[in-house]
Structure 1
Amino acid sequence: MTATMKAAVYHGTRDIRIEQVALPEPRADEVLVAVRRSGICGTDATEWAAGPVMAPLHRRHPASGHLGPMIPGHEFVGEVVDGRGELPTGTSVAAGAGVWCGRCDRCALGRTNICRDYYTLGLNAPGGLAEYVVAPARTLRPIPAGLSFDAAAMAQPLAVGLHAARRAGVRDGESVVLIGAGAIGTFVLAGLSRLNHADVTVIDLPGAKLERAAKLGANRTLSAREDVVERVLENTRGRGADVVIEASGASGQFETALRMVTTGGRVLAVGLPKEKPTVDLFALTLREITVGSNVAHVCDEDLGPALEILSEGTLGPLLLHSVITLDDLVAQGLEPVASGQVDGKILVAPGCRTAEPRGS
């Protein structure tokens, strides 16, 4: 009899079903992980509400090889069930989820997040919204002693925030504006606080998000209901900010970032806008503004430090919204995230049991 597990399976727009599926079998470079927590992010909610965008439901993914209904979930942690090498059975691990080849020109430069054959567990191949998942050992890192699964489940998105902070190229003493204090903006702020000694201004709607930003080290916060460009210019004596990071994805905010950055400054796009921005290339060119972008993270560089930051105990409790069951994934997870009702991370506890022996 084939061993099975409980999993959320994505079949198409607003169609996720909780099913019994075959227990995955690890290949030579993979380990089997019993999932303890799997986070829901905006990408998951968008894929459910309006996809498929990244899930290879109708066309085989060129790197992962997956085609058809798929288990989502790319922010997962758990315990190694079928261990090997440096990850013996029983090791608690956090997943980076992104898989790179290690052979192409991008990997040779250390830019494994834009590997020519990159794919992400939970977006392009079966992921962690299930009782078990298989993952390449190189994408996993041991969870430090004393760090809870609830907190460790934020390591993957925090690694993305750390990567964005690195990509921004902030130097000590520079003025930085961060637009957006939601989950990803908060992770970027945590990265900035760890990597640099900069003067950081955070912009969002008044309320809990800005209060959280102040607790996490923002030098000042601004309400998005104000004339934020004018306020930034006032705070920088008319120069504009050295670096502006757009992490909200909200309509018009990339254009706002370009208006408040200093001549010769840098703008980093992190948030994914639903509408295409209108960019004044004439002004951008004459002011020699450098525009950059950010995707995913570099596992070897960012995932371990993310776990270290979470081990300090401040960030996790500030961002945790709730922990739900797999059966409540849609009603208490995807629906509220997709409709913008949630500030913080919703985690799913799949309710693992001990894996049945294969062939039983």
Structure 2
Amino acid sequence: MTETMRAAVYHGVRDIRVESVPVPVPRDGEVLIAVRRNGICGTDATEWAKGPVMVPLAERHAASGHLGPMIPGHEFVGEIVEVRGVSHLRPGRLVAAGAGVWCGACDRCARGRTNVCRHYYTLGLNAHGGLAEYVAAPAHTLRTIPEGLSLDHAGMAQPLAVGLHAARRSGVRDGDGVVVIGAGAIGTFVLAGLNHLYEADVTVIDLPGPKLTRALELGAARTLSARDDVAAAVLEATGGTGADVVIEASGAPGQYANALAMVATGGRVLAVGLPQEKPSVDMFTLALREITIDSTVAHVCDEDLEPALEILATGPLGGLLLDEVIPLDRLVDSGLERLAGGSVEGKILVDPAARG
């Protein structure tokens, strides 16, 4: 193996450069992975366009210890080329990474809430990640890719795991009426998670176009145009009672107010989308209608990553959501710029080994 590799390195706002850097050396309990695909998402686009937000560029990260320019990429899959102190994984195996690293020893980990571990950090956000030819990752964050699942589709496993975790956090029960606001990538992953876990009647809201068509193909009972009075439409469809659960997955202005307007008294609202500006909260409505607001972050690797791979291996999600696979050299112009500009309907993946 060569001692250097090509990697995208984040130096600051709108400053990502493809550079030659040392191949990482795995520590005990880690494996070295030749990255085959790395998905990019809205978080990556925000870090590039407006960051640093989570990248520890100027202040050392308390858990990862990283400080300074960093290789992004937290949605990666690849082939193991080296193992250190690991017995259950071998070179040559294809694996998907959860990217989130937890300690396994704190009180939150003991309760199974590894995604809020007191020492949690994420590869590609708080330490070097997968937008490179190689990445070192802790073995406990990896799961084997099922035979027959393409790398293009397996590259969506980590964000789908996030969608599954959100579906679990939503409090949905079989038979519930559910509204998902937002049919972009994360909203689609939440929808897939809901359909995998529950028998619910799901309405999806977004602008008219391919995203709503895709939602119907993936099991939504109906869709609504965000250009209409969606709160009134939901109330009319439910006889005035509202939806049992509303999941806000767009982050678009005014949508948390819409969520409160369309949820049933005693119902639940789950915050998934991250708005650019802090929304105001109608505490009067919340209190008098006893509405529960909950949130979700990342995923619980032991619960969510293998089911995500199973969904991708057995259903149409990957094929419907894949937008394009691009080489590392086109990361900015064909990936991050498009994401930041809101012109991506599905998922863009990067193949770090490709040239172009």
Whether these two folds match at TM > 0.5 is yes
Query: Tell me, which stretches of 5 or more residues in structure 1 are unaligned?
Result: 354-360
TM-score, length-scaled by structure 2 = 0.98
The equivalent residue for 1:344 is: 346
The equivalent residue for 2:11 is: 11
The equivalent residue for 1:37 is: 37
2:271–2:295 CA contact under 8 A, matched in 1: yes
Kindly state the Cα deviation for residue 87 of structure 1 after the two structures are TM-superposed.
1.2
SS of residue matched to 2:274? coil
1:34–1:352 CA contact under 8 A, matched in 2: no
Kindly state the Cα deviation for residue 85 of structure 1 after the two structures are TM-superposed.
1.5
1:129–1:350 CA contact under 8 A, matched in 2: yes
2:255 maps to a residue whose letter is Q
The equivalent residue for 1:48 is: 48
In 1, the alpha carbon distance for the partners of 2:326 and 2:2 equals 28
Kindly state the Cα deviation for residue 278 of structure 1 after the two structures are TM-superposed.
1.1
Identical-pair percentage? 74
SS of residue matched to 1:113? helix
1:132–1:352 CA contact under 8 A, matched in 2: no
In 2, the alpha carbon distance for the partners of 1:273 and 1:87 equals 40
SS of residue matched to 1:268? strand
In 2, the alpha carbon distance for the partners of 1:206 and 1:124 equals 36
Kindly state the Cα deviation for residue 144 of structure 1 after the two structures are TM-superposed.
0.1
Aligned length: 353
2:66–2:127 CA contact under 8 A, matched in 1: yes
In 2, the alpha carbon distance for the partners of 1:2 and 1:80 equals 16
User: What do the CA deviations read for 1:316-356 (whole angstroms, capped 9, x no partner)?
Assistant: 01110001100111111111111111111111001179xxx
Q: 1:262-301 counterparts in 2 under 5 A?
A: 262-301=264-303
SS of residue matched to 1:38? strand
The equivalent residue for 1:245 is: 247
Q: 1:135-284 counterparts in 2 under 5 A?
A: 135-284=137-286
1:242–1:266 CA contact under 8 A, matched in 2: yes
2:79 maps to a residue whose letter is E
1:12–1:48 CA contact under 8 A, matched in 2: yes
Kindly state the Cα deviation for residue 2 of structure 1 after the two structures are TM-superposed.
7.7
User: What do the CA deviations read for 1:215-235 (whole angstroms, capped 9, x no partner)?
Assistant: 000011001111111110111
User: What do the CA deviations read for 1:255-307 (whole angstroms, capped 9, x no partner)?
Assistant: 11011000000000000000111111011101000000010000000000000
2:82 maps to a residue whose letter is D
SS of residue matched to 1:186? helix
SS of residue matched to 1:57? coil
In 1, the alpha carbon distance for the partners of 2:201 and 2:221 equals 6
In 1, the alpha carbon distance for the partners of 2:75 and 2:27 equals 21
Aligned Cα root-mean-square deviation (Å): 1.2
Query: Tell me, which stretches of 5 or more residues in structure 2 are unaligned?
Result: none
TM-score, length-scaled by structure 1 = 0.97
Kindly state the Cα deviation for residue 313 of structure 1 after the two structures are TM-superposed.
3.8
1:254 maps to a residue whose letter is Y
2:165–2:296 CA contact under 8 A, matched in 1: yes
- After the TM superposition, list the runs of 4 or more consecutive aligned residues in structure 1 that deviate by more than 4 angstroms: none
In 1, the alpha carbon distance for the partners of 2:308 and 2:130 equals 19
1:243–1:261 CA contact under 8 A, matched in 2: yes
User: What do the CA deviations read for 1:69-121 (whole angstroms, capped 9, x no partner)?
Assistant: 00000000000000342110000000000000001111010000000000000
SS of residue matched to 1:116? coil
Kindly state the Cα deviation for residue 8 of structure 1 after the two structures are TM-superposed.
0.3
1:36–1:352 CA contact under 8 A, matched in 2: no
In 2, the alpha carbon distance for the partners of 1:338 and 1:263 equals 36
1:289 maps to a residue whose letter is I
The equivalent residue for 1:357 is: none
User: What do the CA deviations read for 1:119-157 (whole angstroms, capped 9, x no partner)?
Assistant: 000000000000000000000000000001100000000
The equivalent residue for 1:358 is: none
